[in-house]
Amino acid sequence: MADDVKRTPGGGQARTRLARRAVIDAARSLFLEQGYASTTIAAISQLAEVPEPTVYRLFSSKLGILKDLLDVTIAGDDEPVAVPERPNVAALLDEPDTRRVLAGLAAVTTQINLRTNDLYNMLSRAADSDTGAAVLVGTLREQRQRGQGEIVRNLHRRHRLRAGLSARDAADIVHALMSPEVYRLLVTDRGWTADRYGQWMADTLAQQLL
């Protein structure tokens, strides 16, 4: 396969993408097995079979690897399209049925939490002692707030929220209910299935907001 890549136009880009995937996959395994602090770039390089200089060139640092790993895990793939710009998310802003909007938001969040639960737990533990990881936790929280807030403001502009509920209070409710911590509490600690969590989320959002 390597020879085919070399002979194909854009082969350099293809090799780079394969190397990035290998490093990200190796980092995922090691971070979850050993923890962020105990994992070295040397170990990631060895498991990925990608030379250390290449790892540094692609990601700059271990924190850079973690950032890319989270981006890929949240999105579900390594396509360079932000989650809010993906068709299934962007379509929620144009959906006329408010309950469908909330059900769609719950479904997207359920899938993200399903993919990121173990990794987010590891990141939260790392944030207790690593400044870079702590900053990354804050960045992820801000990204969630922005995405959720855009949908809530859209509902507010269309007068779909219940009487007396401000856009700010609605955004706070959404942010609390859809947090990774609530997913972990119900699915990991209490043994709910992801489907049950998603249905509960859709129903609870409708009860609280509409």
CA 191, CA 180: separation in Å to the nearest integer? 15
CA 166, CA 23: separation in Å to the nearest integer? 45
Instruction: Report whether CATH 1.20.120 matches the domain 81-210.
Output: no
Enter the tokens of residue 99: 């309950």
Q: What is the pLDDT of residue 7?
A: 40
Asked if 31 and 122 count as a contact pair (C-beta separation under 8 A), the reply is: yes
Render pLDDT for 148-204 as a digit per residue (tens, 0 to 9): 999 999 999 999 999 999 999 999 999 999 999 999 999 999 999 999 999 999 999
Render pLDDT for 111-154 as a digit per residue (tens, 0 to 9): 999 999 999 999 999 999 999 999 999 999 999 999 899 999 99
The structure's pTM equals 0.83
Domain coordinates in residue numbering, the chain: 1-66, 81-210
Residue that the structure tokens 């769609």 belong to: 104
pLDDT band at 10 (very low <50, low <70, confident <90, very high): low
Which residues have C-beta within 8 Å of that of residue 183, sequence separation ≥ 6? Answer: 109, 110, 113, 117, 197
Specify the CATH superfamily of domain 1-66.
Answer: Tetracycline Repressor, domain 2 (1.10.357.10)
**81-210 shares the fold of 1-66:** yes
